[in-house]
């Protein structure tokens, strides 16, 4: 009788864990989350994001660079404007998990705030 291969996943090595941590760091700033929330609705220019997020152009550009470096957003240049969009929508189920956790905690505390990105 042949042995079935084990379905147990291997633990990640230090290098892989560092790459995972780097991805999570990209979500660790409120302005970045606000940008992702805006991009959930579709492609936006930097100017549109500055207006929607209510932050300075320099800060939005800095946060977009972090998201771009983490490969969470992509960019295209059209004339003098740069447009950003989410490059991998898998980020939204991750955000939904975190928001769901916060909503459960709020529900248990009987607070009416609902989180959603």
Residue 73 sits in a domain of what CATH number?
A: 1.10.10.10
| 52 SS3 class | helix
Query: pTM, whole model, 2 decimals?
Result: 0.80
CA distance 37 to 78: 23
36 vs 27: CA distance, rounded Å = 9
Cα distances (angstroms) measured from residue 81 to each of 30, 44, 77:
24, 10, 6
Q: What is the pLDDT of residues 71-99, one digit of tens each?
A: 999 999 999 999 999 998 889 998 889 88
How many domains does the structure of the chain reveal? 1
Retrieve residue 59's tokens.
Answer: 């800060």
Q: Which domain holds residue 60?
A: 14-87
pLDDT tens-digit map of 4-57: 555 678 999 999 999 999 999 999 999 999 999 999 999 999 999 999 999 999
Q: How far is CA 107 from the centre of its chain?
A: 24
pLDDT category, 2, cuts 50, 70, 90?
low
- 64 lies in some domain: yes
Domain membership of residue 8 (yes or no) is: no
DSSP 79: T
How far apart CA 68 and CA 14 sit, in angstroms, is 24
Closest C-alpha to 27, from 107, 90, 76, 82: 90
The predicted structure's pLDDT at residue 111 = 67
Tell me if 96 is assigned to some domain: no
The DSSP call for residue 11 is: P
The CA-based dihedral angle spanning residues 28, 29, 32, 34, taken in that order and rounded to the nearest 10 degrees: 110
């Amino acid at each position: 009788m042949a042995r079935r291969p084990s379905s147990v996943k291997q633990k990640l090595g230090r290098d892989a864990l560092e790459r995972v941590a780097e991805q999570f760091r990209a979500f660790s700033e409120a302005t970045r989350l606000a940008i992702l929330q805006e991009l959930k609705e579709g492609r936006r220019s930097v100017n549109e994001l500055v207006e929607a997020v209510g932050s300075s152009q320099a800060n939005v550009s800095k946060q977009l660079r972090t998201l771009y470096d983490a490969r969470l957003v992509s960019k295209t240049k059209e004339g003098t404007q740069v447009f950003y969009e989410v490059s991998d929508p898998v980020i939204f189920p991750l955000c939904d998990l975190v928001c769901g956790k916060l909503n459960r905690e709020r529900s248990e505390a009987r607070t009416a705030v609902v989180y959603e990105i």
